[in-house]
Amino acid sequence: MKAIIQTGYNKTQIKEMPSIPLSPISIKVKTNFVPLLRYDLLKINGQVPTKLPSILGYGATGTVVAIGNLRSSSLLNKRVLILNPWGTFQEKITSNIPPLTIPILDNVSNEEATGLIGGADLALSLFKIVKNTFKQIIIYGADSVTGLVLMQLLTRFTKVPFIPKARTLSANYLKQKINEYNIKPDIEATAQKNNLIIDLVGSDINDKLYQHIQNNDEVISVAQNDLLGVKFISKPALPKDYSFLMNEISNNRLFIPINQIFNYKNFNEAIEYQTTSPSRGRNLISFKD
C-alpha cells in the first residue's frame, strides 16, 4: 500500500506501507481523493509541530472495500467521507471509529465531498458562531473555499450584512464566484463602528486587523491563535455537519469550488502549485487507479 509520509520538515516520501489488519470493528476504505489543505503545508514546513515520520492528512473520500464482523455490512461498496486522525494520504484507510465514516449522498460527487474537509466544515462552524450577530461582518479571505461557503450559508439562512475582502489579484475570481453561486453581499455597505471581522488569511493582513482592534471591532480568526485582541476559533465538525452540507449540495443550494486534481505520484508538484498560486478552489490529491 502506497502512502505519502512526512519524514522531516520540508521532506516527504511516497513509501510502501503494510496494510493495517482488519479488526472486528474496523472498516477499510479504498481512497479516491484527499484534500490538500493549508494545514498540511504548515505541518510540512514545520509551523505546526507533528510527530515524524507520519502519514499526512486527516480526511478523505473513498469506497468501502471491507468491514469487520461486528460492523454493519450496509456500507460495503458504498462511497464514504472518512476522517482518520492517523493519516489519510494512503491508498487504503482502516478506521476503528464508526462515527467518523459518513456516507456520501448519491447526488454529491467524490470531489465535492472531499472539498467539504478543511473548508466547508470550517465555514459551517463559523456560521454557527456568527449567524445571530447584529453586527456587520467583514470577511478577509472571502475568495477561499471557507469564505465562499460561509457567504453562501449567510446568504441562504440569514439577513446578516457582510462585506467580502480579497487581494487585488483575486478580485475578478471573487466577483465571478459571487455571481455564479448567487451570493448576496452588502454592496452598499458603508464604514461603521462595531463590526465583526473574520480572518481567514493569517498574518499577511495583521496591519488591517490591528486597525480593526483599535476601532473596537470584534475580530475572530481561524488562521492564527497568538494575536492579542483576536479570538481564535477551532471547533471540529460533527458527522451530522457533513451530512447537512452534503444535503445542501445534493439540492443545488451549496457549491464547492474545486481547482486542480493531482495524482499522488505528483505530490511535490501539487505542493509547489498550492504554495505559489492564489486560491481558486480546493486542490485534491487522487489515489484512483
pLDDT in tens, 140-192: 999 999 999 999 999 999 999 999 999 999 999 999 999 999 999 997 666 67
Q: What share of the chain is helix, strand, coil (3-state, %, to 5)?
A: 35, 25, 40
Q: What is the pLDDT of residues 215-237, one digit of tens each?
A: 999 999 999 998 999 999 988 89
pLDDT, residue 235, reads: 86
| 135 and 180 inside one domain | yes
Asked if 82 and 101 touch (Cβ cutoff 8 Å), the reply is: yes
Q: Which domain CATH number covers 197?
A: 3.40.50.720
In a domain, 246, yes or no: no
| 128 and 88 inside one domain | no
Q: Which of 232, 249, 278 is the last residue of a domain?
A: 232
How far is 35 from 30, CA to CA, in rounded Å? Answer: 15
pLDDT, residue 190, reads: 67
Residues 87, 283, 236, 241: is their CA dihedral positive or negative?
negative
Asked if 250 and 105 touch (Cβ cutoff 8 Å), the reply is: yes
Residues 89, 93, 96, 98: is their CA dihedral positive or negative?
positive
Mean pLDDT, the chain, rounded, equals 95
How far is 264 from 129, CA to CA, in rounded Å? Answer: 36
| 275 and 226 inside one domain | no
How far is 269 from 285, CA to CA, in rounded Å? Answer: 11
pLDDT, residue 191, reads: 63
Q: Which of 232, 248, 266 is the last residue of a domain?
A: 232
Residues of the chain below pLDDT 70 = 188-191
pLDDT, residue 197, reads: 98
Q: Which of 198, 215, 232 is the last residue of a domain?
A: 232
| 132 and 90 inside one domain | no
Cell of 261: 486534481
* 30 SS3 class: strand
Q: Which domain holds residue 54?
A: 2-103+257-286
pLDDT, residue 189, reads: 64
